[in-house]
């Protein structure tokens, strides 16, 4: 491991994040690495190479091995309370579940008999509901899925209840939703709006917050504009500190938008997830998987 390159904007960074940050590159053979998730029982990280149509599994003992190939152009990953793997699949235009025996099944791919676009990122709430974003990036070309027309004609945040097999639009009020994460008490859902990718002059590069009301999201408000680049994936710790991807690494900020600092990787960063504790962070950035430890 090497000392991480950081920029400090607020002295609370040292208290909330750490004063001794070490970074290690674990893998560098992806085309576009995305969607890391920590599997607690296996002490493993699953992550996707979206453009490589492959999923990988990393452990301290074995390093990085192929987990699934082809992966249906998998992107974001999460786990449910039983430890099952929940995956966004551009290729299938839906959300799948993989059990501990490795058996995969599609959970949901349609709203009112209309095919979803290409689910991108996913998180599971403590009540078992599965929340995900559905931008069009897997159907715009064959690079991350299969080029196709949108049947939904819109990009929304969804809430899927697997107990009753019901899918609801949680909000219509994000133009290009991508990453998402709950606040520590799950009363708020934070979503990345990266519509600047399609609309250079008028698009957004913002993190926005919503109040969670059952399976709906209300009271949209802007937390912060993220630059350089765009907010893609991110995670939030138990202090409600946000670790958000951007073009040069991670932006560290509070829920009120206060910027604490940056962790610089000098390459476009896509996502991150906590490991066994909230002092270990696994980060996907362009072709690489990194491990960051904060003490």
Q: Where are the domains of the chain?
A: 2-294
Residue range 2-294, CATH number: 2.120.10.30
Q: What is the pLDDT of residues 177-193, one digit of tens each?
A: 999 999 999 999 999 99
**Per-residue model confidence as pLDDT tens digits over 68-126:** 999 999 999 999 999 999 999 999 999 999 999 999 999 999 999 999 999 999 999 99
Report residue 1's pLDDT band, with 50, 70 and 90 as the boundaries. Answer: confident
pLDDT higher than 90, residue 209: yes
- Per-residue pLDDT, averaged over 208-223, amounts to 98
Distance between CA atoms of residues 219 and 166, nearest Å: 23
HSE-up of residue 207 (Cα within 13 Å, Cβ side): 32
Complete DSSP assignment for 202-233: T---EEEEEEEETTEEEEEEEEEE--SS----
Burial pattern 1-30, b for ≥16 Cβ within 10 A else e, equals: eeebebeeeeebbeebbbeebebeebbeeb
Model pLDDT, residue 249:
98
**Mean of the pLDDT values across residues 194-212?**
89
Contact status, residue 281 vs residue 292, Cβ threshold 8 Å: yes
Interval 160-170: pLDDT, tens = 999 999 999 99
Q: Is the pLDDT of residue 198 over 90?
A: no
The pLDDT, as a whole number, for residue 105 is: 97
């Amino acid at each position: 491991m090497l000392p991480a390159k950081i920029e400090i904007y607020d002295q609370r960074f040292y208290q909330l994040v750490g004063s001794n940050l070490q970074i290690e590159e674990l893998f560098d053979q992806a085309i576009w690495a995305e969607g890391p998730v920590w599997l607690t029982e296996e002490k493993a990280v699953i992550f996707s190479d979206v453009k490589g149509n492959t999923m990988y599994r990393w452990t301290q003992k074995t390093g990085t091995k192929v987990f699934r190939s082809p992966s249906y152009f998998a992107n974001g990953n999460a786990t449910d309370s039983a430890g099952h793997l929940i995956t966004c699949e551009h290729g299938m235009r839906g959300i799948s579940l993989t059990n501990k025996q490795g058996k995969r099944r599609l959970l949901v791919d349609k709203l009112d008999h209309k095919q979803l676009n290409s689910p991108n990122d996913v998180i599971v709430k403590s009540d078992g509901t599965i929340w995900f974003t559905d931008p069009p990036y897997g159907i715009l070309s064959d690079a991350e899925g299969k080029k196709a027309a949108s049947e939904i004609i819109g990009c929304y945040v969804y809430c899927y209840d697997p107990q009753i097999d019901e899918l609801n639009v949680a909000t219509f009020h994000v133009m290009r939703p991508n990453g998402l994460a709950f606040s520590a008490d799950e009363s708020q859902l934070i979503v990345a709006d990266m519509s600047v990718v399609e609309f250079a002059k008028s698009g957004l590069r913002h993190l926005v917050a919503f109040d969670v009301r059952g399976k709906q999201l209300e009271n949209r408000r802007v937390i912060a504009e993220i630059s350089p680049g765009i907010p893609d994936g991110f995670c939030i710790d138990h202090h409600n500190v946000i670790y958000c991807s951007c073009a040069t690494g991670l932006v560290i900020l509070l829920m009120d938008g206060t910027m604490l600092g940056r962790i610089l990787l000098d390459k476009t960063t896509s996502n991150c997830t906590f490991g066994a504790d909230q002092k270990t962070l696994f980060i996907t950035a362009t072709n690489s998987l990194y491990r960051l430890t904060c003490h």
